[in-house]
Structure 1
Amino acid sequence: MSDLIAPSAAPRRSLHPASRASEPSRFDVAWARDEGDVRAAQRLRYAVFVEEMGARLAPPGGAPAGHDIDVFDDFCEHLLVRAPASDDGEPGMVIGTYRVLTPAAARRVGGLYSETEFDLTRLRPLRARMVELGRSCVHPDWRSGGVILALWGALGEFMARNGLETMIGCASVGMRDGGHVAASLWEQLRRTHLASIEWRVRPRLALPVEELRSDLAVEPPPLIKGYLRCGATLLGAPAWDPDFGTADLPLMMRIGDLPARYRRHFLAA
């Protein structure tokens, strides 16, 4: 799933994301402008990944307690969704986030987070216009779908504004059952959504699917289902992330593959 440059100041921006997205009006959707915004995203990530999901993280020295921080944060654009403002005008809490690593930022940090889990050699022809999405999460009280749609609307605007055409990232599946659901999901999706051979990637620490049950009838998690509806493809077999306790499925979504109805919705700007 998602050693260290702590974001003591706002990251330098290589691109210029929109300051606010139009989806939907009851949320405040914006890109982080300063350290305080980034810290708010990191606190939400800690609450979801560590406190809720049980991830075992190794924060860098000097990192504040209760924050999920790694070396990539200081190089990423951080997209935030806030709950509606209070009656007295106080900004709402951060309830959803994505981080986005642009091609220029990936060169500065020395690579992509996904490369710690997968050999991405075959994606080299795409990298000049490819971003990596990561550390996506939504507060448990706000998982009805609206927050994800708000995030995706802003991401679509960002891609169009900056002439980018490919998004990659990992979709994580919990392994509290030992990995049988993840293995079954891989077996199911490889038949219908596996990318063509020229885009396939290989996990560095593979989930041992051959040792697990892969015949369970499973429903893809809502986030993965949403990606697939938008034309995403599965790039290969899942990696095992022992720190997060998840199986990570590598996904790619290209703007040119968006179905027409999603293209109209997310790229209207």
Structure 2
Amino acid sequence: MNRSQILMHASLHAASLPRPSRAPTARLSISWANSESEVREAQALRYEVFAVEMGARLASPKHAPAGLDIDLFDAYCEHLLVRTEGDDGEPGAVIGTYRVLTPAAAKRAGGLYSDTEFDLTRLRALRPRIAEIGRSCVHADHRSGSAIMALWGALAAFMARNGLDTVIGCASVSMRDGGHVAASLWRQIAAQHLAPIDCQVRPRLPLPIAHLRQDLVVEAPALIRGYLRCGAKLMGEPAWDPDFNTADLPLLLRTADLPARFRRVTG
């Protein structure tokens, strides 16, 4: 596999993002980062969304440049980029990103990012075919759906090229209200979308669901709704991420469950 084929990361730290204001539709292009400077563009967008917009406390490595979201998994990941495209066809700013961690890269990294948040013992048999996605985010001006569609289409094609059939990661829900919305959302989603017992995982730092309200009628963030429409399953109770102040819902998606429009991309 060449560099453009081996893409990776973890935690599907898909932020619970606010609804966007209407913005002009931009032409978009999608590619994989092939230089350190392009990875830095993705990390700068992540910092803007996670730290500035969401207020996350990012634990970047010592001596890391300011204004970037960097963690120890980035060096093992390939980074998928969505850019705006100018009238002249030239690529513009990065407005969306995913990072992807393949099984081979996860071995080099010493495990999946999700291993730090969940006990994944029951997924042992699936690991050779799992791609872990994470740190997904889209700029506030471009959350109408086209950027996410572009990311998902490219990810589906990558999975097919590399013989992988399962995606895992975490969708994050803000805990600014103390966690009641997250606990209620967990209860709603689990009622219809819970994975079979052999694909369930346990959080290492659980959200204290028993001490939170679970009866609120809440709407799932757009990104989570999109995952569920694509056939994603909830693998268990959410973990609490104190740095991001989020509840992380562990999700699993098999490519066979993707809607036809994504499977056509892989053909």
Question: In 1, distance between residues paired with 2:203 and 2:165?
Answer: 24
Report the Cα offset of residue 85 of structure 1: 2.5
Question: In 1, distance between residues paired with 2:220 and 2:31?
Answer: 29
Question: In 2, distance between residues paired with 1:177 and 1:94?
Answer: 31
SS in structure 2 of the partner of residue 83 of structure 1: strand
Report the Cα offset of residue 91 of structure 1: 2.6
Partner of 2:10: none
Partner of 1:75: 76
Q: Equivalent residues in 2 for 1:174-189 (5 A)?
A: 174-189=174-189
Partner of 2:20: none
Q: Is the 1:230–1:258 contact (alpha carbons within 8 Å) kept by the matching residues of 2? A: yes
2:228 matches 1:228: yes
Structure 2: stretches of 5+ with no match in the other structure = 8-24
Q: Is the 1:165–1:254 contact (alpha carbons within 8 Å) kept by the matching residues of 2? A: yes
Partner of 2:64: 63
* TM-score under structure 1 length normalisation: 0.89
Partner of 2:35: 34
Q: Equivalent residues in 2 for 1:87-166 (5 A)?
A: 87=88, 90-166=90-166
Partner of 2:210: 210
Q: Is the 1:76–1:105 contact (alpha carbons within 8 Å) kept by the matching residues of 2? A: yes
Report the count of equivalent residues: 249
Structure 1: stretches of 5+ with no match in the other structure = 1-11, 18-23
Question: In 2, distance between residues paired with 1:86 and 1:60?
Answer: 38
Q: Is the 2:26–2:85 contact (alpha carbons within 8 Å) kept by the matching residues of 1? A: no
Give the partner amino acid of 2:46: R
Give the partner amino acid of 2:155: L
* TM-score under structure 2 length normalisation: 0.89
SS in structure 2 of the partner of residue 58 of structure 1: coil
Question: In 2, distance between residues paired with 1:99 and 1:172?
Answer: 16
Q: Is the 1:14–1:104 contact (alpha carbons within 8 Å) kept by the matching residues of 2? A: no
Partner of 1:247: 247
Aligned-residue sequence identity (percent) comes to 68
Report the Cα offset of residue 111 of structure 1: 0.2
CA RMSD, Structure 1 to Structure 2 (Å): 1.8
Q: Deviations over 1:154-175 (max 9, x none)?
A: 0011001111100000000011
Question: In 1, distance between residues paired with 2:46 and 2:177?
Answer: 23
Report the Cα offset of residue 15 of structure 1: 3.9
